[in-house]
């Protein structure tokens, strides 16, 4: 594995329950995991196991109850410009055009007008939205809105991307296309980011990732981490590779036990 970029050490997270008879809820209990620089790392687990919470802690949006996240060996104490988050919902501003949505973060970071235009044009072309730069979100398909969200995330030029089920709300065909689009953007020697990607889809995790972590039912812990042996670049042929199907089946056997426990 390449040098460690992100490391979770003993992450524990408790929440106050909304029901008086339940006391406090333990979401994460002693999560330990390391992600290499430039690695595409996927996280699988049953609903409610704390996947999204772990991602939010790594991004600095939430604080752990105990334990710490290290980035380049330094503790995370809040959000930073080296990180960008992409959520399941595209979260585009409906009153802004595609161009203005993508450049929003650049405005916040006080990039010049010329820099913003150059950066936005670059990423709109990469995701195939150049012709739709002046359209509003309601004028786009669901897949196009997610492309816009991807462009906005990559435009920030953060070295780390935290992605929380970004393709869960689109249809299966669009999802496959967006997966390939994401890999095409990520798999560039001059721009490769470190990606932590949360998903419920085993096939998506195997197709995208270098390694896949499986979490236990709540309270969430890392059950195991699997290497993905598929060569890159990946495309439709990767999905029919025997190694792809074998790993999907293996992961499902591990995940099924945890999913059954989470329903007890």
Q: Do 51 and 94 have their domain in common?
A: no
Q: Specify the pTM.
A: 0.90
CA 66 to chain centre: 23
Which of 104, 137, 157 is at the close of a domain?
A: 157
pLDDT tens, position by position, 129-156: 999 999 999 999 988 998 898 899 889 8
For 142-195, the pLDDT digits (tens) are 889 988 988 998 898 889 999 999 888 778 888 888 898 889 888 877 768 999
169/67 same-domain check: yes
Specify whether 54 is located in the same domain as 113.
Answer: no
Q: Which of 111, 138, 157 is the last residue of a domain?
A: 157
Q: Both 166 and 150 in a single domain?
A: no
Examine the domain organization and report whether 75 and 98 are in the same domain: no
pLDDT > 90? residue 83:
yes
- 114 & 244 share domain: no
At residue 66, the pLDDT reads 96
When pLDDT is cut at 50, 70 and 90, the band that residue 90 belongs to is low
Residue that is last in its domain, among 136, 157, 178: 157
Residues 149 and 166 in one domain: no
Residue 131 belongs to what domain range? 89-157
Check whether residue 169 and residue 72 sit in a common domain.
yes
Average pLDDT on 26-31 reads 95
The domain total for the chain is 2
3-state DSSP of the chain: CCCEEEEEEEEEEEEECCCHHHCEEEEEEEEEEEEECCCEEEEECCCCCCHHHHHHHHHCCCCCCEEEEEECCEECCCCCCCEEEECCCCCCCCCCCHHHHHHHHHHHCCCCHHHHHHHHHHHHHHCCCHHHCCCCHHHCCHHHHHHHHHHHHHHCCCCEEEEECCCCCCCHHHHHHHHHHHHHHHCCCCCCCEEEEECCCHHHHHHHCCEEEEECCCCECEEEEEECCCCCCCCHHHHCCHHHHHHHHHHHHHHHHHHHHHCC
User: Could you tell me the CATH number of the domain that includes residue 25?
Assistant: 3.40.50.300
Q: What is the mean pLDDT of residues 206-216?
A: 97
Does 100 lie in the same domain as 13?
no
Is residue 183 located within the same domain as residue 210? yes
Predicted local distance difference test score (pLDDT) of residue 170: 79
For the chain, what is the mean pLDDT? Answer: 91
| 190/233 same-domain check | yes
| pLDDT for residue 252 is more than 60 | yes
Q: Are residues 177 and 190 in the same domain?
A: yes
Tens of pLDDT, residues 34-65: 999 999 999 999 988 999 999 999 999 999 99
């Amino acid at each position: 594995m390449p040098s460690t970029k992100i490391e979770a050490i003993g992450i524990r997270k408790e929440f106050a329950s909304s029901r008086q008879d339940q006391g406090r809820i333990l979401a994460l209990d002693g999560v330990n995991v390391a992600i290499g620089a430039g690695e595409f790392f996927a996280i699988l687990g049953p609903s409610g196991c704390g996947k999204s919470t772990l991602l939010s802690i790594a991004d600095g949006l939430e604080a752990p109850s105990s334990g710490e996240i290290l980035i380049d060996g330094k503790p995370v104490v809040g959000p930073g410009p080296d990180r960008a988050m992409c959520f399941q919902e595209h979260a585009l501003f409906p009153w802004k055009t595609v161009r203005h949505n993508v450049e929003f973060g650049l405005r916040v970071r006080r990039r010049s007008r010329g820099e913003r235009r150059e950066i936005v044009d670059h990423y709109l072309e990469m995701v195939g939205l150049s012709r739709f730069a002046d359209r509003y979100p309601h004028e786009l398909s669901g897949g196009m809105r997610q492309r816009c969200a991807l462009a906005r995330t990559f435009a920030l030029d953060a070295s780390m991307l935290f992605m929380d089920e970004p393709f869960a709300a689109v249809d299966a065909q669009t999802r496959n296309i967006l997966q390939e689009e994401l890999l095409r953007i990520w798999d560039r020697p001059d721009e490769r980011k470190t990606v932590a990607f949360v998903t419920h889809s085993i096939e998506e995790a195997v197709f995208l990732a270098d390694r896949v972590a499986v979490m236990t039912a709540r309270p969430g812990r890392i059950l195991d981490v699997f290497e993905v042996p598929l060569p890159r670049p990946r495309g439709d042929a990767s999905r029919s590779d025997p190694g792809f199907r074998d790993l999907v089946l293996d992961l499902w056997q591990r995940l099924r036990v945890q999913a059954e426990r989470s329903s007890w």
